[in-house]
Structure formats: C-alpha cells, structure tokens
Copies of this chain bind each other. A is one copy, B any other.
Amino acid sequence: MARRGPQGGGAAKRERILRAAIRIFSQKGYFNSRISEIAREAGVADGTIYLYFKNKDDLLISLFEEKMGEVVADVRARVEAGGDALSRLKIFIENHMSLLIREAGLIEVIQVELRQSNKFMKEYIPVRFLEYLDVISGILEAGKREGIFRHDLNVTMARRAIFGALDEISLAYVLSRKRKYDPDAASAEIFRIFAEGLKREGGKE
C-alpha cells in the first residue's frame, strides 16, 4: 500500500491521525467533521495532516482501505480456522458482532460513510469491502459443495442478505446509546435464521 508522507517516525504520526479521524468521523460524520478537530484530536497541526494525506477525501478513503484491510485479513484467518461451512458462518457472524465492541468507531464510520462514498465518490471502488463480502461468498460456496446449503442458493443475494442483516443490527446497536442489545444474543439469532434459511431441505445434518 503506497503511503504518502514522511517515513520512519512518521508512521506513528500517520497512525495517530487515522485513529483521530476514526474517532471524529464516527462521532460527527464525515461532512460534519473538521480537519482542525481531527488535528487537535491527533495532537498535530492542521497542516501536518496534509503531509500524510492528499486531502480530506483521501483521509477517509485511506481509513477505509487500510483499516478494512486489517479487518478482512483478520476475519479470513479466523474463518479458515473453522471447520465446515456452518461453523465458519458462525465464526463470521460472531466476529462481525464482536467488531462492534473491539472497533466500534471504525465500524460506525464504515457503516455510515461507506454508503455516501459508494454513491458520491465516482471513481472510488471499495476494494476491501468487496473482499469482506467475498469471505461470505466463500463460505456459502463451500457450504453448497459440502451439501449443507441448497444447491440453488443464489450466493450473490444471500451474501448481501447476510451482510445487510449484520449491518443493520450493528447500526441499531451503535445507535442505541445505551447499547441495550446484547451482541451475543444478536449473533445467535442471526446465525440461527440463516443456518435454517440456507440449509438444504432434509440435508446432511
């Protein structure tokens, strides 16, 4: 990943800026966030941000790409450690919900801002996000081969449905200031719905 800006000690500063951006963007949204706020949060001068990022858009996109890249690498490793497709699906779902706690700010930014970006940054293709969806596809395809999931399952639709369900519940969780939902209960319910919903009638199980 080509990184702009000063090297060496600068990497830590760049990371501080990204973390600050996540914090501020997640609190106020991209358009309501000020570069000066991010700079203050990161403990640098306004101009310093422009040593590491081309402009405000680039800050958001770098954040997507780099942080989402880490999330994708992480979930891939976890999923691969799983057994059959069902257990992998469980791992994926549980991991997604646990991200809400581990990386709350990042998830909030992605949830809210990625939609904007999808539509309004013409040239931007959210590669990492598509990779995340691909992890679901992989599980579903495997499940079909394993005879666990229906053979006529439309993987494209199903992976969107699964992601959408997770995403919406995450959003509700994030918006409920008091965090009244229990992420574990949510995982369990979602897993159960999709396990049943995708399963081959009278399948192996």
Contacts and interface: CB of A to CB of B under 8 A. Distances in A.
Contacts of A31: 31, 116
A166 interface: yes
Given A115-B111, A192-B197, A193-B198, A169 B164 contact: yes
Interface stretch (A11-19, A82-90, A182-190): A182-190
Contacts of A198: 193, 196-197
Interface string A10-30: 000000000000000000110
Given A29-B119, A112-B119, A172 B160 contact: yes
A203 to B, nearest CB: 11
A194 interface: yes
A132 interface: no
Contact of A168 (B108, B167, B194, B196): B167
Interface of A: 28-29, 31-32, 108, 111-112, 115-116, 118-120, 153-154, 156-158, 160-169, 171-172, 174-175, 181, 185-186, 189-190, 192-199
Given A29-B119, A167-B168, 13 more contacts: A29-B116, A31-B116, A112-B119, A157-B189, A158-B189, A160-B165, A161-B169, A164-B164, A164-B166, A164-B169, A164-B171, A196-B198, A196-B199
